[in-house]
Amino acid sequence: MEFEGKVALVTGAGSGIGRASAVALAQAGARVALLSHTADEIEEAAHEIRSAGGEAVALTADVSDESAMRQAVQQLLERFGRLDVVVANAGINGVWAPIDDLKPEEFDKTIAVNLRGTYLTLHLTVPYLKRQGGAIVIVSSINGNRTFTSPGATAYSATKAAQVAITQQLALELGRHHVRVNAVCPGEIETQIGDNTNRRHVEETKIPVEFPEGQIPVSDGKPGKAADVAELVLFLASDRARHITGTPVYIDGGQGLLR
């Protein structure tokens, strides 16, 4: 119960990596605020934690909406009175298309959720982390950092590269306040993020590469699990990682090395 007495906020916590991270934090003793733009999904995730004896509150907000996020953070503080861990996980794949086909509004949507959403999450929570110190874990990707071969993923890759830059910038800015900031960079993971991916004309930009026995060497080509990433999030948020900050950690089974 290494997180006993601590409060964690996880965005995008209704499914996938976010939900697995929220559950792991709760199992380790944290009181958890789960945030998502989908009310039914987030209530179900919070119920799972409560049913196992944990304490959780469901917050509904679009991470790109400043007003909604302010209200959600206020609800968190009213309920728990403090904040120690922030997992900035909410994100979309958005539209993957050739750059001359990718529409400005499609580009803007991905930037709004992935990048503005990360900014607003940290902008609104850091004042409370500064009070006693804490940990931030940003969920980025191998895309835009280790690999650049996902066809048409310009907007997505740009946001994921920017998240690592934010991680390193804030590690220095917040170090004096004893707030650590790290990023996890997953490769292919079994989640529902594909549901918000719109691929269009990707054959025009696809890189013709053949991978032996699948593209994930350590697992015989099989994608990782959300729980695998949650274990890394848990470690980086814990005191076991007390001397780690400003670090992107790749969790891709070697996938990025092949690309």
Is 156 one of the catalytic residues?
yes
The 3-state secondary structure of the chain reads CCCCCCEEEEECCCCHHHHHHHHHHHHCCCEEEEEECCHHHHHHHHHHHHHCCCCEEEEECCCCCHHHHHHHHHHHHHHHCCCCEEEECCCCCEEECCCCCCCHHHHHHHHHHHHHHHHHHHHHHHHHHCCCCEEEEEECCCECCCECCCCCCHHHHHHHHHHHHHHHHHHHHHHCCCEEEEEEEECCEECCHHHHEEECCHHHCCCCCCCCCCCCHHHCCCCEEHHHHHHHHHHHHCHHHCCCCCCEEEECCCHHHHC
Q: Which residues pair with 189 in a beta bridge?
A: 224
Which of the residues 119, 128, 156, 250 is marked catalytic? 156
Q: What is the rounded distance in angstroms from the CA atom of residue 95 to the CA atom of residue 137?
A: 25
Q: Which residues pair with 94 in a beta bridge?
A: 197
| Active-site residue list | 156
